[in-house]
Amino acid sequence: MAEKYEEVFFAVGIHPYDIEKYDEKIMNKYITHPKCIAVGECGLDYFRLPADEEEKKQNIAKQKEVFIAQIEFAKKVKKPLIVHIREASNDSRQILIDYNAKEVGGVLHCFNASEHLLPLAEHNFYFGIGGVLTFKNAKKLVEVLPKIPKEKLLIETDGPYLTPHPFRGKRNEPLYTIYVADKISEVLETPKEEIEKLTTNNAIRLFKQFSTII
C-alpha cells in the first residue's frame, strides 16, 4: 500500500503482545524502505499479563527488554517511535527518559490520559488523540487535553478500532478523524480550522525530522 499510494507511509515494530517475535534482522529488512518512517508500535502493556506471579515477572522483564531494544534501534536508524502504553505509564515514561528516546522522539499513540506521561512533552514526544475523546465516558481525557502543549497534539485513528461517536462500533477510517478534530476544537475552544492546521503541522514536524520523503 505504501508503494501504491503516495500518501501512505508505514512503521516497523513489535507490539508488546508479540515480544517473542522480536528480531532485529526483520526490523532491518523493512527500515531501509524509503516509506518506512517510524519504529513501532512498541511499548509496554500490563493489561493482559499472565496470572502466575513468576510468569508475570518474566513477561514484564521481556516487554521492557524488547521495548528498550526498539528504542536503541530507532536511535540507530534515526526514526521516531510510535509507542503503545497500556496500564504501564510510569515504567514507560521512565524507560523513554532513561534511554534518551528524546533523540528521535515519537508519538504516544492512543494517549491514555495519564498525567504521568505529560512530562514526555519535554522529551520530543507527541500525544496521539483518537476516537476515545468523543466517547461519553472520556471525562478524564477531556480534563487532561488542555494540559498537553498545543504543539504536541496529534490526531489518529487506531483503525479499525475506537471509531469516534457517532460511528462508534463501526470499522474506523481515517475519514473519521474529523470528529476527533471537532471535539478537540470544542474542548480547547479553538476554531476547528486551527486544530486541523496545528495537528497536521505537528505530524509533519515529527515525522520529517530525519526524513527527506515527507
Least distance in Å: CB of 24 to Zn ion? 21
The sign of the dihedral angle between the CA atoms of 24, 71, 114, 11 is negative
Q: Is the dihedral of CA 198, 136, 132, 6 positive or negative?
A: negative
- 152: contact with Zn ion by CB under 5 A: no
Q: How far is CA 46 from the centre of its chain?
A: 16
Beta carbon nearer to Zn ion, 63 or 198: 63
CB-nearer residue toward Zn ion: 41 or 91: 41
CB of residue 191 to Zn ion, shortest distance in Å: 30
Contact set for Zn ion, span 165-184 (CB under 5 A): none
Grid coordinates representing 29?
Answer: 529488512
Which region among 40-48, 87-95, 115-123, 172-180 touches Zn ion (by CB under 5 A)?
Answer: 40-48
Least distance (Å) from Zn ion to the CB of residue 61? 21
Minimum distance of Zn ion from residue 6's CB (angstroms): 26
Nearer to Zn ion among residue 198 and residue 207 (C-beta):
207
Instruction: Rank residues 84 and 165 by Cβ distance to Zn ion and give the closer one.
Output: 84
CB of 7 vs Zn ion, minimal distance in Å: 22
30's enclosing H/E stretch is helix 24-31
**Contact residues for 60 (Cβ-Cβ < 8 A; gap 6+):** 44, 46, 49, 91
Q: Which residue is nearest to Zn ion (CB)?
A: 84
Maximum Cα–Cα distance for the chain, whole Å? 52
Given 12, 37, 79, 84, the residue binding Zn ion (CB under 5 A) = 84
Q: Give me the amino acid identity at 120.
A: L
Residue 10: strand, helix, or coil: strand
| Contact stretch for Zn ion (CB under 5 A) within 80-88, 118-126, 181-189, 193-201 | 80-88
Please state the closest distance from residue 46 (CB atom) to Zn ion, in A: 13
Q: Which is nearer to Zn ion, 158 or 186 (CB)?
A: 158
AA letter at 197: K
Report the Cα 191 to chain-centroid distance in Å.
25
* Preceding amide of 65 cis, omega within 30: no
Residues near Zn ion, by CB under 5 A: 41, 84
